[in-house]
Amino acid sequence: MKTLIFKTASAYLLPLLLLFSVFILLRGHYLPGGGFVGGLMAAIAFVIHSFANGIERTKNIVKFHPGFLMPVGLLLALLAGALPLLFGETFMTGLWMKQAVPVIGSVGTALFFDTGVYLVVIGVTLTIIFTISEGL
């Protein structure tokens, strides 16, 4: 799709959608949302961009191979899950900071776990999409 309107809009949509995906990620603890949905949304932002500008341009924006996000996200989620073991709690127990951080709210291991999921989902989805669209 090489229409001027879509092309222009996609340039603005990409940062907006990415910002919105982070918002979805952060509100996910008590409200609908979370790492998986947020990650998918961020991936969709790149997909829209690639529809408008071609897959090569999108790859240039991402700069590094999206597959690299997978181990980073997995490691983050793993560490968030395994951290309670050091405090004598069981695997995956939520640890929370005593005092709330301004703007974000109280920070716990669940946030890092969700961020890990977010990164893994972006990495996996973009890898799949880039791989499929290569042969088309």
Partner 1 sequence: MEILLVIIIGLLYAAGIYMMLRRSLVKLIIGLILLGNGANLLIFLLGKIVKGKPPIIEETEKMLGELYADPVPQALILTAIVISFGLQAFAIILIKRAYKVVKTDDLDEMNATDEDL
Partner 2 sequence: MNNPFIVLPVIFQLFVAVILMFSWNSKNLQKLISVIGSLIALLISLLLLIQVRQEGIQSMQAGGWMAPFGITFVADTFSALLVLLTAISGLAVSVFSVGSIRNARVKFGYFPILHLLIMGLSGAFLTGDIFNLYVWFEIIIISSFVLLTIGGEKAQIEGAIKYVTMNLLASVIFLTAIAILYGLTGSLNMADLSLQIAQVENRGLVNVTAILFLIGFGIKSAVFPLYFWLPASYHTPPPAISAIFGGLLTKVGVYALLRVFSLIFVPDDFLASVIAILAMLTMLTGGVGALIQNNIRKVFSYLIICHIGFMLAGLGIYSTIAIAGAIFYLVHDIIVKTNLFMVSGLIFKFKGTYSMRLLGGFYKDKPLLSLLMAVPLFSLVGIPPLSGFWGKLMLIKGAIATSNILIIAFIILGSFLTLFIIARMWAAVFWKDGAALPKKKQIKYFEELKPLKRKAMISSIAFLSLISLAIGFGAEWIMQMAIHIAENLMDPSAYIQAVLGI
Q: Which of 5, 91, 98, 135 binds partner 2 (CB under 8 A)?
A: 91
CA angle 123, 127, 131 (to 5 degrees): 175
Residue number with CB closer to partner 1 (32 or 88): 32
CA distance 60 to 73: 22
Q: Which of 82, 97, 100, 128 binds partner 2 (CB under 8 A)?
A: 82
Site for partner 1 in 34-63 (CB under 8 A): 36
Number of Cβ within 10 Å of residue 5's Cβ equals 8
Q: What is the CA radius of gyration of the chain?
A: 17
Stretch near partner 1 under the rule CB under 8 A, chosen from 6-14, 63-71, 90-98, 124-132: 124-132
- Residue 61 contacts which entry, partner 1, partner 2, none (Cβ below 5-8 A, type-dependent): none
Structure tokens at 20: 């919105």
